[in-house]
Structure 1
Amino acid sequence: MAKDLEKQLEYFGVPWEEAHGYAQAVRVGNTIYVSGQLSHDDDGKLVGPAPVNASGRVTDTSNMELQMRTTYANAAKLLARFGATLDHVVEETIYVTDVDAAFAVAGPAREAAYGKEQPECASTLAGVTRLAFPEQLVEISFTVVPPG
């Protein structure tokens, strides 16, 4: 019989965790896997929602930087529960609905989040057709390895 994998799970208590059935982050051994984070407040309301037209398509991406900065802040709050910080991120994947808008703001947003002009992690930026919420412009997942 295989030994059960020891996991530490963390949640924000937002409605979509239960609806979709997932944890925001899972620690296994010394590695933390962070689910795609987005720009929401403590009540689960989207911060800086993009305006959408009647067919649900984004009409203005000017809130990309606000959403990106808030997403990094949410990830930092989550990592603090494990005694980790964004300094311990080894890989991130940034999903965006508009690659050009993301490239225009990603440098300053990432520098502010990581506190370095060149964050010390592998990073992938991928353009997608849509994210979980129509007004959502960015989602970021992380792999984190704190020391110890």
Structure 2
Amino acid sequence: MRQQVSTGSAWERHVGYSRAVRVGDTIHVAGTTAVRDGAVVGGGDAYLQTKAVLEIIVAALAELGASPVDVVRTRIFVTDITRWEEIGRAHGEVFGASRPAATMVQVSALIDPVLLVEIEADAVVGQAGS
């Protein structure tokens, strides 16, 4: 069975995607930025943007019956790799000891020039204790 979560963003409707999709025990979370109610959260602060991104991801996971410990992989896209420590600190605070496989790469731009970070996540539900 397929379950989908939407955060209601205009981009989801316009582009035709879901924030997250669960099929069986696997959840894929789309690239997520620090946008809430049409506004960028955290301004130019990479740490605050990353925290906001991860809060959105964690909420989508929860709607599909998962938590951060179920996340097995994240992909982090940043516009300024020199800010990796701020971004990594926020990532580490959310995932703690579960430590998913992670990639962080610099990209030339995200969809809005104010955005500094975008994160994708994959989770496998119920595997945290295995």
Q: Secondary structure at the match of 1:83?
A: coil
Unaligned runs of 5+ in 2: none
Report how far residue 39 of structure 1 moved: 0.7
**2:94 aligned partner:** 113
CA change 1:119–1:105 in 2 (3 A) is farther
Identity of aligned residues (%): 34
Residue type at the aligned position of 2:20: A
Counterpart position of 2:60: 78
Q: Structure 1: how far apart are the matches of 2:59 and 2:26? A: 17
Q: Which amino acid aligns with 2:102?
A: S
Describe the SS at the equivalent of 2:61: helix
TM-score normalised per structure 2: 0.91
Question: Which whole-Å deviations, capped at 9, do the CAs of 1:127-148 have from their partners, x for residues lacking one?
Answer: 0000111110000000100117
- 2:119 aligned with 1:137: no
What residue ranges of structure 1 are gaps of 5+ in the alignment? 1-5, 51-62
The Cα offsets for residues 45-100 of structure 1, whole Å up to 9 and x where unpaired, read as 211233xxxxxxxxxxxx11110111111101111101111111000000000011
Higher-helix-fraction structure: 2
How far apart are residue 37 of structure 1 and its match? 1.0
Alignment of 1:53-132 (within 5 A): 63-101=45-83, 103-114=84-95, 116=96, 118-132=97-111
**1-structure distance, mates of 2:116, 2:23:** 30
Distance 1:104 1:120 in 2: 16
Structure of greater Rg: 1
Shift in Å, 1:119: 4.2
Matched, 1:46 2:40: yes
Whichever structure has more strand as a proportion of its residues is: 2
Match in the other structure for 2:14: 19
